[in-house]
Structure 1
Amino acid sequence: MKVQHHILNAFLAAVLATSTAFAQGDTLDTLYERLLKPDLQDWEQVERAIWREWSSSGSASMDLLLERGRKAMSDGDFAVAIEHFTALTDHAPEFAEGWNARATAYFMAEEYSLSIADIQKTLSLNPKHFGALQGLGRILEELEDEKNALKAYQAAYAIHPHRPSLEEAIDRLDAKLSGQAL
């Protein structure tokens, strides 16, 4: 699959430009602020709290669809997971985590173009979704689009600078793109 670079570049630029303007309530804002503290020791707890906030749709039935889809995904049944997440996105189209979950299921099913489309929807609803940005980076790296993968990882790192896997990915791609031996 060939990703259209100019569209992707514009999309990544828009995400970077809007990520500082995103506000989803005091709780998430406070958690995002904590993530940016350089000396944060409990970053994993802060990250889990953010994921809990992201995973709460405000509807018990929608949360159940998310839970069932995640269970199917963890069982390796990606088709069933996609069905649950599709029902979720159909019934709660403004719930970013439904789109992100389906993007993850599509990625696991190696449906990269569908995953990218759902990541774009996730980020349009939640520009600070560092998980979606990291997922985008991973897909682009799989597609050997290292330059845009690096941009996606850097965008995720700007929101969540404590994830070791993000720093490793950035260092790896920086070295590769600059021609340094790994």
Structure 2
Amino acid sequence: MGAPCTNLKAIVAAIATVILVTLPLGAVAQDLSATDFSDLSEAELLAQLEAGDPDQAAALDRELQALWSKSGSAAMDLLLRRGRDAMARRDWGAALDHLTALTDHAPEFSEGWSERAQAQFHADRFGPAVADLERALALNPNDYNAIFALGQVFEYFDDPDRAYAAYARAKAIHPHHEEVTKALDRLSITVDGTSL
């Protein structure tokens, strides 16, 4: 039984080698631009995102969001999904119930705090929203979406300088975040008198 599996692996390796040798160099480079990033660590994903290749930004963002959404517990992942589903329905009370249960049971899971901050904000609970964002960023200082959300809170409360600083920090991590770029452009005239 072991020999056929070994032969199959050898056949696949040989075919892959033939394909790589016979493909033009441009085709290989094109295939590498559509790389599966699932084997990269968080630090590697962030480094590639910060490097600023616009063709890879969306895939890197998806991979980071998927990574940050894994709590390590099926039960906690279910609470996160239920909280997000409730937010999609704009049922802020149910979202807060699920996400509070999540943060109570998994206080080291930054995505729970970040998601609960969104629900808090939409429920007009601004102080708790900021506290949740601070906790999320203490656990994951590279969460550019949480940094962006903090900028939105500052902007909502008419603090353009702090909002701009938050947006600039988010852009340093994710240079191709469209909403961050729009926010920086919108505030650039107010903050420093120039347009991006």
Asked whether the two chains share a fold, i.e. TM above 0.5, the reply is: yes
**Aligned equivalents of 2:137, 2:162: Cα separation in 1:** 16
Whose RCO is larger (CA < 8 A, sep 6+)? 1
Does residue 161 of structure 2 align to residue 129 of structure 1? no
Number of aligned positions between the proteins: 157
Q: 43, 47, 68: which one pairs with 2:57?
A: 43
- Distance in 1, matches of 2:66 and 2:52, equals 23
Aligned ranges 1:94-173 → 2 under 5 Å: 94-173=108-187
Partner of 1:12: none
Q: Which residue of 2 aligns with 1:83?
A: 97
Q: 1:36 to 1:180 in 2, by over 3 A?
A: closer
Query: Partner residue of 1:176?
Result: 190
Kept in 1, the 8 Å contact 2:152–2:163? The answer is: yes
Aligned CA distance change for structure 1 residues 159 and 180 (closer, same or farther; 3 Å): closer
Q: Give the Cα separation in 2 of the matches to 1:33 and 1:133.
A: 17
Please tell me whether the aligned partners of residues 34 and 40 of structure 1 are also in contact (alpha carbons under 8 angstroms).
no
Structure 1 pair 180/43, CA: closer, same or farther in 2 (3 Å)?
closer
Distance, in Å, in 2 between the alignment partners of 1:140 and 1:111 is 14
State the shift of 1:180 in Å: 5.5
1:27 pairs, out of 41, 48, 51, with 41
Q: Distance in 1 between matches of 2:119 and 2:54?
A: 31
Q: Secondary structure at the match of 2:55?
A: coil
> What's 1:53 paired with?
67
Matched residue, 1:73: 87
Q: TM-score if structure 2 supplies the norm length?
A: 0.76
Amino acid corresponding to residue 158 of structure 1 in structure 2: A
Cα distance in 2 between the residues matched to 1:157 and 1:89 = 27
94-103 vs 26-35, greater mean Cα deviation: 26-35
Q: 1:127 to 1:180 in 2, by over 3 A?
A: closer
Q: If the length of structure 1 is used for normalisation, what is the TM-score? A: 0.82
Q: Is the 8 A contact 2:144 2:170 kept in 1?
A: yes
Which is higher, the Rg of structure 1 or of structure 2? Answer: 2
8 Å Cα contact 2:148-2:166 kept in structure 1: yes
Amino acid paired to 1:95: F
- Give me the whole-angstrom Cα distance separating, in 1, the residues matched to 2:167 and 2:81: 27
Structure 2 residues not aligned, in runs of 5+: 1-39
Alpha-carbon distance between aligned partners in 1 of 2:54 and 2:188, rounded to the nearest angstrom: 25
Matched-pair contact (CA < 8 Å) for 1:133–1:152: yes
- Runs of 4+ that moved beyond 4 A: none
Higher helix share: 2
Q: Which amino acid aligns with 2:111?
A: E
Contact 2:154 2:162 in 1 (8 A): yes
**Fraction of identical pairs, as percent:** 42
What is the alpha-carbon distance in structure 2 between the residues aligned to residue 127 and residue 180 of structure 1?
29
